[in-house]
Amino acid sequence: MDLAIIQDLLMTGFLRGGLYASMAVGLALVFGVMNICHFAHGEYYVLGAYCAYFAFVTLGLNPILSLLVASVLSFLAGAISEKLLFYPLRKRSKGEWIMNAFLLTAGLSVVLQNLFRVFFGMKYRGITQFWKTTFHVLGMSLPADRIIAFFIAMVAIAALWLFLKKTRIGRAIRAVSQDENGAKLVGINLDRIQTLTFALGSMLAGLGGASMLSLSPAYPYAGNKPLISSWFVVTIVGLGNVPGAIVGGFIVGIFESVSFFFLGSGWQDVASLTLLILLLLFKPTGLFGTQIKSVWE
């Protein structure tokens, strides 16, 4: 086989993996800290895409500012939905939290998709590009948007890492993921940490949707594909494990681009699901499953 094709496949997969990684990191964080199996994550991706679209096209802001607006708004949307929905549910559910929260996210996903439909219609809102250049990498010419979206994802992950490792609040988030009672007893206000965590997860999704706007336009149901792929990532690496989600993002990105090339789009999902089933059969804890619960150590 042609070396150029392999290179091309790896590059596409790698760039796609960057997005999956940042989406999956959000999922892993939300599960690791709050024990929520988040099935409305894709809707925050779409929300980010819409925000970026309106900021860039309607308001005519520059790309960086548009992405910033999208991140801030998806952060706020995450915080508001946590306070409005998950917080009251947490106060009321006793032992059934995981199931209740999962059902709530599933319902939230449907509601948000239909709200998008009502407000924005069944119309694709995309742009051709944020940045009008092409980069030449290893003899391939790639649109600048792809490369920049990838770097934005990496910068977001690195920023999250610094935040979790180096700040007092970040340390508190990790503490909550490891031992909720211990966290309460050292004076950490759990309610605030939960809201912040959900907002951060939503922001990662929103930023992903915004930075990919030229490649996948905003559309009420545009969140389904990234949701499924990022769930695929967190399931194969083990739920609630952030560094695993990063590595997994790249594995899945490359796996998808290779299987797409060899099997075509119809069979791509079959290949992914087969891999998932085999993995769960032989290593149910996921590739990087650990004994001690923690989001990022």
Partner 1 sequence: MLEIENLQAGYDRLQVLWDVSMHIREGEFVALIGANGAGKTTTLRAIAGLLTPQGGCVRFLGENITGYPAHRICQAGISFITEELNLFQAMSVEENLLLGAYLCRNQNLIKTNLDKVFSFFPILAERRKQLAGTLSGGERRMLALGRGLMSNPRLLVVDEPSLGLAPIIVLTVFKTLQELHAQGVTLLLVEQNVTNTLQITDRAYLLERGKITLAASSKELLENEYLKETYLGKR
Which residue, 17 or 170, is less far from partner 1 as judged by CB? 170
DSSP code per residue over 232-277: HHHHHH-TT-HHHHHHHHHHHHHHHHHHHHHH-HHHHHHHHHHHHH
Which residue, 141 or 181, is less far from partner 1 as judged by CB? 181
For residue 184, the minimal CB distance to partner 1 (Å) is: 4
For residue 178, the minimal CB distance to partner 1 (Å) is: 4
Which residue, 107 or 182, is less far from partner 1 as judged by CB? 182
Give Cβ neighbours of residue 123 (< 8 Å, ≥ 6 apart).
219
Which residues of this protein are in contact with partner 1, per CB under 8 A?
Answer: 168, 171-172, 174-175, 178-179, 181-190, 292-294, 297
Which residue, 190 or 287, is less far from partner 1 as judged by CB? 190
For residue 297, the minimal CB distance to partner 1 (Å) is: 4
User: 117 is written with which tokens?
Assistant: 């439909």
For residue 30, the minimal CB distance to partner 1 (Å) is: 18
> How does DSSP classify residue 84?
I
Q: Which residue in 156, 256, 160, 258 sits closest to 211, CA to CA?
A: 156
Which residue, 123 or 184, is less far from partner 1 as judged by CB? 184
3-state SS of the chain: helix, strand, coil percent to 5? 75, 5, 25
For residue 157, the minimal CB distance to partner 1 (Å) is: 19
| Residue pair 286/244 in contact by the 8 Å Cβ criterion | yes
